Amino acid sequence: MRSKTPKPKPSSGKMPGASQSQVAQHLDVSQPRVAQFVAEGVFKPLPTRKLDLDACRISYIRWLRDETRKSSQSAAAARVQDARAKAIELRTAREEARLIPLESVQAVVAEILGTYRYELTGIAAAASRDLAVRAEINRHLDDAIDRCRLKFEKAKRDLIAGRDPLLEDAE
C-alpha cells in the first residue's frame, strides 16, 4: 500500500514576484524610479531578484509618509530657493550699478589718501620756520595718516569677512 502524499502542482514556469516594470506600473512611477528605490533600499528584492508587489506597495506608502524625508527635502529646497534669491538680488544690484567691486573702492580711497597726504606736506612749512616745530608737526600728521590707513585696512578685512566695518569691536 502506498501512502497518499500530495503531488506537487505543475509549475507554470513563472517565478514568484514582479519585475521592476510591473512594480512601476502598479505604483504609477517610472521603472528607473523603481530601480532607484531598490538601490536606496526602500524596496527589498527577493532572492530571485524579483520584487514582492505587496511589500513594494507598503514600502512606497511608508516612504511617501516619511516626515523626516519630507522635512529634509523642504529644508534643502528652502536653501536652494534662498541661494537663487540672493543670486538674483546680486545680479540686479550689479545691473543697477548699486554693487561696486571692492578693488575699485580701494583704488579710489588710495588715490584720495595719496592726494590728501601730499596736500598736508606743505602745512608744516607754512606754519613755522623753526625746523624742530616743522618736524613735530610732520610727525603728528604722519601719525594721524597712519591711524587712518590702519582703519581703512581693518574696514577692508571686515568687508571681505562680511562684517559691518562701521561697528566698533568690543575689545
Taking the CA atoms of 85, 91, 94 and 99 in sequence, report the sign of the dihedral they define.
Answer: positive
Q: Any idea what DSSP says for residue 165?
A: T
Query: What digits encode the pLDDT tens for the residues 67-112?
Result: 777 676 677 778 888 899 989 988 888 777 777 777 888 888 888 8
Q: How far is CA 10 from CA 7, 14, 60, 130, 142, in A?
A: 9, 11, 34, 123, 105
Share of the chain above pLDDT 70, in %: 87
Query: What digits encode the pLDDT tens for the residues 119-162?
Result: 888 888 888 899 999 999 989 988 988 898 888 888 888 888 87
Q: What pLDDT is attached to residue 107?
A: 86
The three three-digit cell numbers of residue 59, written as one number: 514600502
What is the rounded end-to-end Cα distance, in angstroms, of the chain?
A: 104
- Name every residue whose Cβ is closer than 8 Å to that of residue 18 and which is 6 or more positions away in sequence: 26, 50, 51, 52, 53, 56
Mean pLDDT of 42-63: 90
- pLDDT at 45 exceeding the cut of 70: yes
- pLDDT at 115 exceeding the cut of 80: yes
Q: What pLDDT is attached to residue 169?
A: 59
3-state secondary structure of 2: coil
pTM over cut 0.75:
no
What are the sequence ranges of the domains in the chain?
20-65, 69-99, 100-171
Q: How far is CA 150 from the centre of its chain?
A: 33
124-163 residues labelled b (16+ CB within 10 A) or e (exposed): beeeeeeeeebeebeeeeeeeeeeeeeeeeebeeeeeeee
